[in-house]
C-alpha cells in the first residue's frame, strides 16, 4: 500500500490499492466492503440527558461548599438558612441547565449534513444509492448541484467547479482536474484532483473513485478533532473555583481559631462555641454569590440577545470581556461571502463599478449577462458565485436583464473549460445576424482579440492597448481581485461546427471586471474599536496569501507593506510548535490554512496566557471553536456544526456584534466584581465583628442576626449591582487577560479596608452603647447595644452598596439614581431590616429591643460615615492612578 496521499498517485496506483477500476465495484464486493469499513457516516455523539446536565451543575466547588453549609445549618436547627442556601443552589443549577440544554450538537450536525443519495457505478450500471452505503472503491458520478458524498479522487473532470468554503474557507469555487499532482504536501484547497465529502458542485460534471468514507474522510477527521477536544475552563469559572477554595480555607481557619480560643477561656459551653463557629461560617460564606453571578450572567445574555449575540453557555458572557485575541475566519465573517463586482475597465479606463452606470447598448453589460449560466429564481440567483456576481451587478444598476435574456436567447455555446479558460455563447440579433459573447481570463482572451471598443468606436487593438490591459489586469490581481475579460463579435451565420477555432477569433475587446468577496462595511470600524480596546484581531482563512493580505489591509488588521505579518499554512507546517510559539506574535494574517492549523494558532496564543476568541462559520472552524476560550459561530451563514461547537452565536453574522459583546462582557465582569467586593467586604465586616466580640467576651450577635442581615443585604442590593449601567470608557482599557481575577485592580485591598471599616464602625457603636447606655439596667443596656450593633451592621452594608457602584469612581460621578432597580432594592432591604426592630412581635423573635430616635441617629450617622470615608479613599486612589 502506497504511503503517498491519493492526489499524488496515478489513477492506476489508486485502482490497484483499492481493488477496483473505472467501471466500479460489483454489488457483492460493495456489500462485503460495507461490512468491513462500516457505513459512510460520522460517529454520533452520545446525548446528555437533562438529569445528567442538572447533576453536572453541582460539581462546582463553590456549590459544594454551600451544600456543606446548608447541611451544617440544618444539623444545628437553622432550617431557614438551610432552605435559603439550597434554594440558591437549585436555582443556579436550573439556570445552567436551561442555558446549556442545546450544547454539544456538533457531531450530530455533521452527520445531518451528509448527502442523502449518491449516483454510483455498480455492476457496470449507474444507480442511485444512499450515501451511507458508499464504500472505498466505488465510482461516483457528480453533476452541478450535487453534494459530494465521500472523499473522491477524480477520474474525469469536465469544467468541474467545487465550492469548498466550509472546509477551506476559500470563497471562490475551485476548478478541478483529474491529473496527478506531483507536488509535495498540499492544503485541501490546492488538491485539485480531489473532491471532499460535503462540498458542493457548482459547475460541470465529473466521475471519481471513493478513497475514504465516514470518519476517515476530511470531514470525519474534523469530527474526530471536535470529539477529542477538551472543554476549556473559562476565566470566570477558574476565578470562582479559586475564590471558593480560598474562602473555604479562610472560613475553616477562623472558625477553628474562634472555637479553640472560646473553649480555652472556658466562659462558653461547647454547644455555644459550636454555634458561634457556625455563625462565623455563615457570616463568611457569600451564599448568594453563585446566584448573583448566574443572574448577572443571565441578564447579560438577555441584553446581548437583543443586540444579536446569542449565548449558549453562561460563562461565555464574561469570557468575552477578558478576550485578548479575536481570531476570525475571513469568508462570511469579515467578508460577505459573495462575489461582488468592484472595478470596471470600460472605454479603456479603470473605474469604480459602484459609481458607473453602463448604457443599455453597452456590449460589456450584454456579454456579462449573455455569456453566463446563472439561473434567475424566484428566491434569488443560482449558479457559480462569479457568474451570479455579474448578473447581480447589472440588476443593481437597473439593467433589464430578463428582457435581454428573452430577446436574445442562447442558440449555441462553447462551454467553459479549465484549459482554455474561456466561455462563449451565441445569440440572435434583430437584423438576423448573431452576437458571439465571450468571457474568460484576460491573458487567454487577448490572444483571440484583434479590435477594441472605446466610446462606441471599434479600432484595431495596438500593442500599447494590449500592454495597458495586461498592466491593469496585474494591478487588479495584486489587490486580490478576481479579473475577467469580455469580448464579442457579430457574425452573419452560425458555423456548422461550433468550437473554439470557429467562434473564438477576431474578437472585439469590450472591457474587464474586477471582483472580490468584499469586506462587511461595518467590520473596519469594529476592528478599529477592538484595537482601541487592546484586543488584537487575527484573520485566519483558507484563501490565497494575496487575497488574505489585501482584505486584511482594507480592514485595518495590518498596514500596507506588512508582508511579514502574513504566513501561510505551508510555512506554518515548516515550524515546530516551540518555534511557532516564539513567533506567533509576529503574525496577524494566516492564509491557506487547514483545520489543524487553526487549533495550533489558538493553542499557541493560549500558551502565552492570552484569552482567545475564535469566530467561524464553516465545518473547518469547528475544532478551533472548541479549542478557543470562547467559540463564536455565525447564525445565518454558519453551518450547524460550527454553531454546535460554539459558546456564542452571532444572529446577524456581524463582526461588529463581537465588539458589542466584548463591551457587554466587560460590563458583566465589572458588575460581578462590584458584587464580590460588596459581598466580601460586608462578610469580612461581619466576621470581624463576631471575632472581636468573642475575643472580648461581649455578648455576640446570634446566628439569626447574621442570617437576616445576609438575607437582606446579600440578595437584592448585590443583584442590583449586577445590572449597573456600563461605566464610561470601559472599552478604553486593556483586556484584563487570563491571569487576572476578581481581586485585581485594587479590589482585594478595597475588600480588606472596607471590611475592617464596617466591622470597626459596628464595634464602635456597640462600645458606645455599652459605655454610654440609655438605660441604667445592665440587661437593657446590653440588649440596646446588641440591637444597635445589629442595625449598624445591616445599615452600613446598605450604605456601602452605594460605594460599590464603582470600584474607583466617585458615587457622585457614577450617579445616585441611574439604576432604578438598585434604588428599589436598597429601599426594600432597609424596610426588611428596620421591621425586625420597630414592628412589635418581630423584635422578640429576633431578640432585639426598640431603639429611640437618639439611638437611631447614632446608627444612621455611623453607617453614613462609611460613604464619606470610602469617598475620601477613592479620591486619593484616583490621584495616585493618574500619577502612575
The answer to whether residues 142 and 268 belong to one domain is no
- Convert the pLDDT of each residue in 157-168 to its tens digit: 888 888 887 677
Backbone φ/ψ region at 552: left (φ over 0), alpha (ψ -120 to 50), beta: alpha
Q: Do 648 and 687 reside in the same domain of the chain?
A: no
User: What does the angle CA 220 – CA 224 – CA 227 come to, to the nearest 5 degrees?
Assistant: 135
The answer to whether 164 touches 196, Cβ cutoff 8 Å, is yes
Residue 250 pLDDT level (bands cut at 50, 70, 90): confident
* Mean pLDDT lowest among 70-84, 247-261, 514-528, 829-843: 70-84
Task: Tell me the three cell numbers of residue 439.
Answer: 468571457
Question: What's the pLDDT tens digit per position in 391-447?
Answer: 999 999 989 999 999 999 999 999 887 778 899 999 999 999 999 999 999 999 999
Question: Which pLDDT band holds residue 598 (cuts at 50, 70, 90)?
Answer: confident
CA separation for the pair 473, 482 (Å, rounded): 9
Q: How far apart are CA 142 and CA 126, in angstroms?
A: 12
**Could you tell me if 580 and 563 are in contact, meaning their C-beta atoms sit under 8 angstroms apart?**
no
CATH number of the CATH domain containing 583: 3.40.50.1000
- What mean pLDDT comes out for the span 547-567? 89
For residue 339, pLDDT over 80 is answered with yes
Asked if the structure places residue 55 within a domain, the reply is: no
Q: pLDDT digit string (tens) for 194-240?
A: 999 888 887 788 999 999 998 888 888 877 766 655 555 555 656 66
Looking at 228, 258, 288, the residue that finishes a domain is 228
Q: 598 to each of 126, 328, 429, 878, how far by Cα in Å?
A: 40, 10, 54, 42
Give pLDDT, residue 237.
59
CATH label of the domain that carries residue 794:
1.20.1110.10
Overall number of domains in the chain: 4
pLDDT at 680 over 80: yes
pLDDT of residue 858: 94
- Dmax (CA) of the chain: 126
Strand, coil or helix: what is 16? helix
List, by residue number, the catalytic residues: 329
DSSP code of 150?
A: S
Does 82 reside within a domain? no
Contact 653, 336 (CB under 8 A): no
Q: Is residue 537 part of a domain?
A: yes
Could you tell me if 339 and 389 are in contact, meaning their C-beta atoms sit under 8 angstroms apart? yes
Confidence at residue 33, expressed as pLDDT on a 0 to 100 scale: 92
The closest of 220, 158, 169, 161 to 195, measured between CA atoms, is: 161
Query: By the 8 A CB rule, do 321 and 669 touch?
Result: yes
Average pLDDT over residues 603-620: 85
Please check whether residues 850 and 754 belong to one and the same domain: yes
Q: Examine the fold and report which residue of 617, 634, 653 is the final residue of a domain before the chain moves on.
A: 653
* Block residue for cell numbers 480588606: 752
Using the predicted structure, report yes or no on whether residue 73 has a pLDDT greater than 70: no
pLDDT at residue 107 in the model: 35
Distance CA 406, CA 819 (A): 64
Q: What are phi and psi of 161, to 5 degrees?
A: -125, 135
Nearest to 283 by CA among 767, 812, 758, 649: 758
Q: Which three cell numbers stand for residue 693?
A: 466580640
Tell me the three state secondary structure of residue 281: helix
C-alpha separations of 212 from 196, 219, 592 in Å: 9, 10, 23
Confidence of residue 47 (pLDDT cuts 50, 70, 90): low
Question: Considering the domain boundaries, does residue 86 fall inside one?
Answer: no
Determine how β-strand 536-540 pairs with β-strand 325-329: parallel
pLDDT at 509 over 90: yes
Kindly state whether residues 697 and 802 are assigned to the same domain. Answer: yes
Out of 619, 653, 687, pick the residue that ends a domain.
653
Q: Is residue 154, in this structure, part of any structural domain at all?
A: yes
- Quote the Cα angle for 187-537-585, to 5°: 75
The predicted pLDDT at position 445 comes to 95
Asked, for residue 798, whether it belongs to a domain, the answer is yes
Is 423:371 a contact under the CB 8 Å cutoff? Answer: yes
Q: Are residues 579 and 467 in the same domain?
A: no
Enclosing domain of residue 627 = 320-336+520-653
Does residue 450 sit within a domain? yes
Rounded to 10°, the helix 289-306/61-75 angle is 140
Q: Which residue has the higher pLDDT, 78 or 385?
A: 385
Instruction: Report which of 713, 729, 698, 727 is spatially closest to residue 810, judged by C-alpha positions.
Output: 727
Supply the pLDDT for residue 884.
57
65-74, 445-454, 457-466, 739-748: least confidently modelled range: 65-74
Q: Mean pLDDT score of the chain, rounded to an integer? A: 83
In the DSSP assignment, the letter for residue 335 is B
pLDDT band per the 50, 70, 90 thresholds, residue 867: very high
Instruction: Establish how many alpha carbons lie within 13 A of residue 857's alpha carbon, considering only the half-sphere containing its beta carbon.
Output: 3
CATH no. for residue 147? 2.70.150.10
In tens, the pLDDT along 731-790 reads: 878 887 776 777 777 888 899 999 999 999 999 999 999 888 877 677 788 888 889 999
In this structure, the chain runs to a length of: 884
Decide: 177 and 196 in contact? Cβ < 8 Å: no
**Is residue 312 scored above 90 in pLDDT?**
no
CA 828, 833, 836, 837 dihedral sign is negative
Higher pLDDT, 600 or 659: 600
pLDDT tens by residue, 98-127:
545 533 443 344 344 444 678 899 988 888
Q: What is the C-alpha to C-alpha distance for residues 199 and 23, in angstroms, rounded to an integer?
A: 24
CA-wise closest residue to 763 among 838, 691, 683: 691
Residues 734 and 587 in one domain: no
Confidence of residue 2 (pLDDT cuts 50, 70, 90): low
Note whether 199 and 5 are within 8 A (CB).
Answer: no
Cell triple for residue 252?
475553616
Beta strands in 617-770 (DSSP E): 630-634, 648-650
For the residues of 498-559, what is the DSSP string, one character each?
-SHHHHSSSEEEEEEEEEE-PBPTTHHHHHHHHHHTT-EEEEE-SS-HHHHHHHHHHHTSS-
For residue 232, the model assigns a pLDDT of 52
The pLDDT score that the predictor gives to residue 106 is: 36
Residue 329 shares a structural domain with residue 361 = no
**Is there a contact between 548 and 189 (Cβ–Cβ < 8 Å)?**
no
Is there a single domain that holds both residue 282 and residue 153?
A: no
Same domain, 687 and 740: yes
Residues 717 and 856 in one domain: yes
Q: Give per-residue burial for 90-106: e unless 16+ CB within 10 Å, then b.
A: eebbebbbebbeebbbb
Over residues 244-263, mean pLDDT = 74
pLDDT exceeds 80 at position 721: yes
Is the dihedral angle over the CA atoms 496, 498, 500, 505 positive or is it negative?
Answer: positive
- Statement: residue 799 has pLDDT above 80: yes
Q: Are 764 and 800 contained in the same domain?
A: yes
Query: In 163-178, which positions are buried (b, 16+ CB within 10 angstroms) versus exposed (e)?
Result: bbbbbbbbbbbbbbbb
Note whether residue 81 is domain-resident.
no
At 375, is the secondary structure helix, strand, or coil?
A: strand
| pLDDT at site 111 | 41
What lies within 8 Å, CB to CB, of 844 at 6+ separation is none
Q: Any idea which of 239-243, 374-378, 856-860 has the lowest mean pLDDT? A: 239-243
**Which pLDDT value is given to residue 429?**
95
As given in the structure block, the three cell numbers for residue 306 are 437583543
Mean predicted confidence (pLDDT) in 379-389 = 86
In the chain, % of residues over pLDDT 70: 84
Same domain for 574 and 682?
no
Most confident of 350-359, 620-629, 731-740: 350-359
Give the CATH number of the domain where residue 429 resides. 3.40.1110.10
The pLDDT of residue 231 is 53
Q: Helix 363-370 vs helix 385-396: angle between axes, to the nearest 10 degrees?
A: 140
Mean pLDDT of all residues in 570-577? 91
DSSP string, 650-691: ETT--HHHHHHHHHHHHHHHHHHHHHHHHHHHHHHHHHHHHH
- The tens digit of pLDDT for each residue in 259-270 reads 777 777 665 666
Query: What pLDDT does 80 receive?
Result: 61
Tally helices (H) and strands (E) across the chain. 34, 26
Confidence of residue 490 (pLDDT cuts 50, 70, 90): very high
Amino acid at each position: 500500500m502506497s504511503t503517498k496521499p491519493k492526489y499524488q498517485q496515478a489513477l492506476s496506483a489508486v485502482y490497484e490499492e483499492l481493488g477496483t477500476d473505472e467501471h466500479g465495484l460489483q454489488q457483492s464486493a460493495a456489500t462485503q466492503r460495507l461490512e468491513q469499513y462500516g457505513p459512510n457516516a460520522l460517529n454520533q455523539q452520545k446525548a446528555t440527558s437533562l438529569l445528567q446536565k442538572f447533576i453536572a451543575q453541582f460539581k462546582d466547588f463553590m456549590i459544594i461548599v454551600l451544600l456543606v453549609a446548608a447541611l451544617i445549618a440544618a444539623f444545628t436547627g437553622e432550617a431557614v438558612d438551610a432552605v435559603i442556601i439550597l434554594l440558591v443552589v437549585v436555582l443556579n443549577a436550573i439556570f445552567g441547565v436551561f442555558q446549556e440544554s442545546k450544547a454539544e450538537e456538533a457531531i450530530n450536525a455533521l452527520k445531518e449534513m451528509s448527502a442523502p443519495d449518491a449516483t454510483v457505478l455498480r455492476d457496470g450500471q449507474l444507480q442511485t444509492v444512499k450515501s451511507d452505503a458508499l464504500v472505498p472503491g466505488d465510482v461516483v458520478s457528480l453533476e452541478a448541484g450535487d453534494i459530494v458524498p465521500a472523499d473522491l479522487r477524480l477520474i474525469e473532470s469536465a469544467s468541474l467547479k467545487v465550492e469548498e468554503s466550509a472546509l477551506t474557507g476559500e470563497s471562490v469555487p475551485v476548478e478541478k482536474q483529474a491529473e496527478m499532482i506531483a507536488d509535495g504536501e498540499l492544503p485541501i484547497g490546492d488538491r485539485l484532483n480531489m473532491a471532499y465529502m460535503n462540498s458542493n458542485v457548482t459547475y460541470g460534471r465529473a466521475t471519481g473513485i471513493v478513497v475514504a468514507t465516514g470518519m476517515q474522510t476530511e470531514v470525519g477527521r474534523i469530527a474526530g478533532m471536535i470529539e477529542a477536544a477538551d472543554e476549556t475552563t473559562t476565566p470566570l469559572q477558574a476565578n470562582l473555583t479559586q475564590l471558593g477554595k480560598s474562602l473555604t480555607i479562610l472560613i475553616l481557619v477562623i472558625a477553628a481559631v474562634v472555637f479553640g480560643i472560646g473553649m480555652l477561656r472556658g466562659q462558653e459551653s461547647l454547644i455555644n462555641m459550636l454555634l458561634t463557629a457556625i455563625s462565623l461560617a455563615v457570616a463568611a460564606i457569600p451564599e448568594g454569590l453563585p446566584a448573583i453571578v448566574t443572574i448577572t450572567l443571565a441578564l447579560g445574555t438577555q441584553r446581548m440577545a437583543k443586540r444579536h449575540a446569542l449565548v449558549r453557555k453562561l460563562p461565555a458572557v464574561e469570557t468575552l470581556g477578558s478576550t485578548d485575541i479575536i481570531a476570525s475566519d475571513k469568508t462570511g465573517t469579515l467578508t460577505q461571502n459573495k462575489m461582488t463586482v468592484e472595478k470596471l475597465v470600460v472605454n479603456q479606463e479603470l473605474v469604480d463599478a459602484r459609481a458607473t452606470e453602463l448604457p443599455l447598448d453597452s456590449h460589456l453589460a450584454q456579454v456579462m449577462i449573455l455569456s453566463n449560466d446563472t439561473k434567475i429564481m424566484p428566491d434569488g440567483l443560482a449558479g457559480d458565485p462569479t457568474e451570479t456576481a455579474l448578473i447581480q451587478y447589472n440588476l443593481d444598476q437597473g439593467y433589464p436583464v430578463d428582457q435581454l435574456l428573452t430577446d436574445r436567447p442562447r442558440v449555441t455555446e462553447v462551454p467553459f473549460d479549465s484549459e482554455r479558460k474561456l466561455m462563449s455563447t451565441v445569440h440572435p440579433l434583430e437584423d438576423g445576424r448573431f452576437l458571439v459573447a465571450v468571457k474568460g481570463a484576460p491573458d487567454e482572451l487577448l490572444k483571440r482579440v484583434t479590435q477594441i471598443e472605446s466610446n462606441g468606436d471599434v479600432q484595431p487593438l495596438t500593442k500599447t492597448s494590449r500592454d495597458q490591459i495586461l498592466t491593469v489586469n496585474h494591478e487588479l490581481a495584486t489587490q486580490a481581485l478576481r479579473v475577467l475579460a469580455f469580448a464579442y463579435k457579430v457574425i452573419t451565420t452560425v458555423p456548422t461546427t461550433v468550437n473554439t477555432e470557429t467562434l473564438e477569433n477576431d474578437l472585439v475587446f469590450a472591457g474587464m471586471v474586477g471582483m472580490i468577496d468584499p469586506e462587511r462595511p461595518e467590520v473596519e470600524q469594529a476592528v478599529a474599536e477592538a484595537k482601541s480596546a487592546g484586543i488584537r484581531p487575527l484573520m485566519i482563512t483558507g484563501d490565497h496569501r494575496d487575497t488574505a493580505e489585501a482584505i486584511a489591509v482594507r480592514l485595518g488588521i495590518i498596514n500596507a507593506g506588512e508582508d511579514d505579518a502574513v504566513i501561510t499554512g505551508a510555512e506554518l507546517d515548516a515550524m515546530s510548535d516551540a518555534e511557532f510559539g516564539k513567533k506567533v506574535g509576529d503574525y496577524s494574517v494566516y492564509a491557506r490554512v487547514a483545520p489543524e492549523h487553526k487549533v495550533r494558532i489558538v493553542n499557541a496564543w493560549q500558551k502565552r496566557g492570552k484569552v482567545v476568541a475564535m469566530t467561524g462559520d464553516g465545518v473547518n472552524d469547528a475544532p478551533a471553536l472548541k479549542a478557543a476560550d470562547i467559540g463564536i459561530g455565525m447564525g445565518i451563514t454558519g453551518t450547524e456544526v460550527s454553531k454546535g461547537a460554539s459558546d456564542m452565536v452571532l444572529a446577524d453574522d456581524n463582526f461588529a456584534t463581537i465588539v458589542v459583546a466584548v463591551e457587554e462582557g466587560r460590563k458583566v465582569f465589572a458588575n460581578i466584581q462590584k458584587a464580590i467586593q460588596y459581598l466580601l467586604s460586608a462578610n469580612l465586616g461581619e466576621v470581624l465583628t463576631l471575632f472581636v466580640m468573642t475575643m472580648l467576651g461581649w455578648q455576640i450577635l446570634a446566628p439569626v442576626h447574621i442570617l437576616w442581615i445576609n438575607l437582606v443585604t446579600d440578595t437584592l442590593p448585590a443583584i442590583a449591582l449586577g445590572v449597573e449601567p456600563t461605566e464610561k470608557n470601559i472599552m478604553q482599557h486593556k483586556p484584563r487577560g487570563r491571569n487576572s481575577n476578581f481581586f485585581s485592580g485594587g479590589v482585594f485591598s478595597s475588600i480588606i479596608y472596607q471590611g475592617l471599616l464596617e466591622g470597626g464602625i459596628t464595634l464602635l457603636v456597640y462600645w458606645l452603647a455599652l459605655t454610654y447606655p440609655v438605660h441604667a439596667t445592665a440587661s437593657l443596656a446590653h440588649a440596646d447595644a446588641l440591637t444597635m450593633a445589629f442595625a449598624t451592621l445591616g445599615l452600613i452594608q446598605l450604605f456601602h452598596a452605594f460605594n460599590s457602584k464603582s470600584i474607583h469612581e466617585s458615587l457622585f460621578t457614577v450617579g445616585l439614581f441611574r439604576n432604578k432597580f438598585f434604588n428599589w432594592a436598597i429601599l426594600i432591604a432597609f424596610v426588611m431590616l428596620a421591621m425586625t426592630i420597630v414592628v412589635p412581635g418581630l423584635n422578640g423573635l429576633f431578640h432585639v429591643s426598640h431603639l429611640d430616635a437618639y439611638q437611631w441617629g447614632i446608627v444612621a450617622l455611623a453607617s453614613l460615615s462609611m460613604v464619606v470615608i470610602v469617598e475620601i479613599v477613592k479620591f486619593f486612589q484616583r490621584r495616585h492612578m493618574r500619577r502612575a
